[in-house]
A and B are shown apart, each in its own frame.
Chain A
Amino acid sequence: MADALSRLKVIEIGELVSAPYAAKLMADLGAEVIKLERPGAGDAARRRGPFPAATPHPDKSGLFLYLNANKYGVTLDIAQPEGFELLEALAEQADVLIHNLWPPDMDRVGLSYDRLARRNPRLVMTSITPFGSSGPHRNWRAEELTVWSSGGVCVLNGGGPNHPELPPLKVFGSPAGFQAGAHAAVATMGAVFARLRSGKGQHVDVSGQETLVSQNEMVYEYWPYMKVIATRLGRKPLQPLEAMQCKDGWIFICCVEEHQWRNFVSLMGNPQWAYEEIFADRLKRGENWEALEIFLREWVGEQTVLDLYRKAQERRIPFAPVSTMGDLLASEHLRSRGFFVEIEHPVAGTCKYPGAPIKYGATPWRIRMPAPTLGQHNEEILGGRLGVRPDRMAQLKSKGVI
């Protein structure tokens, strides 16, 4: 099987999640990705972990290792003129450049599409920034939490109508970074596809905030359509749709359609309370959730997670366990599909990583090499590709360019 993207050469100037994830999606389908990192410090993901035994080490961060497998690693200080020249030389040979430099940093080092396109008009350059390359917030500072909060999704999550004192709650991890990266990969591939016909590259400007505003479920439209503000304090119109505790863990109780509720009632052995008028349909169960919750908590509390999950699914009720990480790694379903992959890394050792988000029938998703150690491929890329001679390499090193 041929790799889908093996003809693409990608340069990544990426920190943390967004640009590295966009480039990873392409690397895992065979694109050649050369990742440029700052000499000395490298990608900030190297300092975020998780780390084995909670001991920070730049080559052992789980986040970094996951995002950067299948990439070549080169250190390059593009803020120095000699470093920028090498970047231009690399970009001249590339199809795509993906970066997530903060716009004021782009200005400072002089990175712009027009400048790179002068030497390579076929180049597709994708800029992933918190708020996009234009507009009054272009230069605003941002971190994962503030971008997530700017996107209209964070405000929806929290303790619910009975706990107005609790603030909105971010979800775990780096969802803003991942969503920006995934949307950027889509837009980048769109530009690459267009280039097959036009022969011309272009600049793609991705706004992290906008990728989140674009996925506000039905909630955003409550303002333009009904002049209703949606927040974490809204009541769920339909019930049950809640996580509940079993004897050995948590399960998500989910009955959206009436037939699902009827099947659940039968699964519970048709208790008399379930036939009360106040629980007669999904809207009434929403209105009277506080009463329903008492009955359900009692019954669910006596069950075990996997047994209730299986029994519900046998009756076409879409319950799901509240999976712990251990549950995911132990899942017979995921094992049978071969989701997790084991990767051996020269410094970090061997462990399991999340695998392919999509299984392709004709083109493989595969791990060809582990994430690079800092500057691992300087010789191979700068020497081998650009013909930088050993004496100049030493000079660049002493100036801190590489």
Chain B
Amino acid sequence: MADGPLSGVRIADFTWVWAGPYCTLQLAHMGADVIRIETATRPCVTRMLPPWPEGKPAGLDSSGYYNQYNQGKRSLALNFSKPGALDLAKRLVAKSDVVANNFAHGVMDRLGLGYEELKKIKPDIIMISLSGYGDTGPYKDYVAYGPAQVPLCGLSALTGYIGGPPMHAGYSYADPNAGVHGAFAILAALYHRELTGEGQYMDMSQWECAMAVLPEGIMEYTMNGREPQRIGNRDPYMAPHGIFRCMDRAEKVMGVTVDQFVAIAVSDDAAWRRLAAAIGRPGLGNDPKFATLAARKANEDELESIIEAWSVNQRAPEVARILQEAGVAAFVVADNKYLSEEDEHLKARDYFVNLPHPVVGVKQHCGIPWKMSATPVKVRCAAPTLGQHTNEVLSEVLGLSEAEIATLRASGALE
């Protein structure tokens, strides 16, 4: 197989939790040598969070959360409270192209790994910091957590059922959003460095990065001075546009009944007529109450109850199939089981990854969301156990002898 597009690029990865590891995951996907610097004295938060493999005890190497976002990376354990560890980190930076971190503002400086310091070691180093609030401004020392970034960025105020309170996104959306933007910034900086020899420091605020993907809300306000209303699953320019109840899953899971839904979006009058025919109500297609977008918006409650009366007696995948065959945009509101076992398309695209992990064995993980024709991208290995590659990195990358490594290990610097 041809090399990945970033083969030969090395990332000294000081990130943790989700945003940072999601950033460097994109680079690992493309063949960069991503070396996570970790410590057992304060392990990555995700190493201590579920899910844990069935029938096996929880442990630092068995979290599905960690194992998802650290595929294809190496792990170097360094305990910065011991002499020698900081020096090893600096020597690794000297052999790296990029340094990434998502600590709170100032932490890398306090560790002795600030940009000014690293620039002395490697003048063309590229460094990115993905902090919650950024490196400047009156709140730069504020603490940020993934779940709180969703309300902070404005997304919660905009999201909610009609007449209801502000809601969440259901996951820490601002984290992967920051991560993928960080990966883009690193690639732009690598490209610039390749052409000019110049490295640079990049300051990302996860808050700002999340607002960069919210122009519809922000510009309603800057153009009209108005706060957008929460409109549930509806859309001003499409109707029907919603999430409709289908039959529950046929089988209980862990003794629990699981409900299922389908998402339907009708973009024009012709699609509405196709939908009306597909649900066995062709007369509704030209009914003046529903024939135009304006009419459907005016009668949207009734419109939605007609569709749900049809969908609720059928399985969600069947509803999606019937509507797609009729030329209507529809999809199961997919849950993890659906994606893992029931989505034939993801299987056909060979999206999932099934690589052996020394502790959890073969567990299915999510793969790379794009394909490249000339420099194929492939997850090379499962996520590392803590410190799995310490010896390998110290000897191969930093050129340490076995005796030097043994001395460091005895001192506790490699924990």
Contact = CB atoms under 8 A, between A and B. Distances in A.
Question: Which of A136, A142, A169, A214 has the most chain B CB within a 10 Å cutoff?
Answer: A214
Given A50-B219, A172-B216, A329-B222, A318 B371 contact: no
A175 interface: yes
Contacts of A49: 216, 220, 236
Interface string B301-332: 00000000000000000000000100111111
A359 B134 contact: yes
Given A230-B335, A325-B154, A361 B202 contact: yes
Contacts of B198: 362
B172 to A, nearest CB: 6
B182 interface: yes
Given A182-B184, A320-B151, A354-B214, A167 B261 contact: yes
B340 interface: yes
Given A169-B167, A353-B219, A155 B334 contact: yes
Contacts of A280: none
Given A140-B324, A196-B191, A357-B181, A147 B373 contact: no
Contact of A360 (B26, B185, B233, B346): B185
Contacts of A193: 5-6, 187, 190-191, 194
Interface residues of A, number: 150
Given A113-B373, A205-B370, A319-B148, A363 B224 contact: no
Interface in B186-214: 187-192, 194-196, 198-205, 207-209, 211-214
B158 to A, nearest CB: 4
A169 B196 CA distance: 47
A207 interface: yes
Interface string A314-354: 00111111111111110011101101100000000001111
B224 A53 contact: yes
A34 interface: no
B339 A213 contact: yes
B184 A186 contact: yes
Contacts of A362: 189, 192, 198-201
Contact of B369 (A135, A211, A316): A211
Given A132-B371, A156-B171, A216-B366, A322 B238 contact: no
A401 interface: no
Contacts of B53: 225-226
A399 interface: no
Interface string B372-405: 1111010000000000000000000000000000
A221 B365 contact: yes
Nearest to A177: B213
Interface in B7-62: 18, 22, 26, 30, 46, 49-54
Question: Which of A53, A155, A184 has the most chain B CB within a 10 Å cutoff?
Answer: A155
A173 interface: yes
Contacts of A146: 263-265, 329-331
Interface stretch (A75-83, A250-258, A265-273, A372-380): A250-258
Nearest to A189: B187
A384 interface: no
A150 B216 contact: no
Nearest to A331: B139
A149 B321 CA distance: 15
Nearest to B144: A318
A136 B344 CA distance: 7
A63 B219 contact: yes
B333 A141 contact: no
A75 B304 CA distance: 38
B283 interface: no
Nearest to B336: A223
A220 B338 CA distance: 10
Contacts of B169: 153, 157, 171, 175
A172 B228 contact: yes
Contacts of B349: 132, 134-135, 207, 210
Given A225-B54, A231-B258, A169 B371 contact: no
A207 to B, nearest CB: 6
Contact of A361 (B64, B201, B368): B201
Interface in A200-226: 200-207, 209-211, 213-226
Contacts of A317: 143
Contacts of B221: 325-326, 328-329
A153 B223 contact: no
B133 interface: yes
B345 A358 contact: no
Interface stretch (B73-81, B85-93, B240-248): B240-248
Nearest to A67: B215
A221 B216 CA distance: 32
10 contacts: A135-B345, A145-B265, A158-B170, A169-B159, A193-B190, A213-B351, A226-B51, A230-B335, A337-B134, A353-B219
Given A203-B372, A323-B154, 7 more contacts: A136-B344, A146-B264, A157-B167, A167-B242, A193-B191, A337-B136, A337-B205
Shortest beta-carbon contacts, A-B, top 5: A157-B170, A221-B64, A62-B219, A156-B170, A210-B369
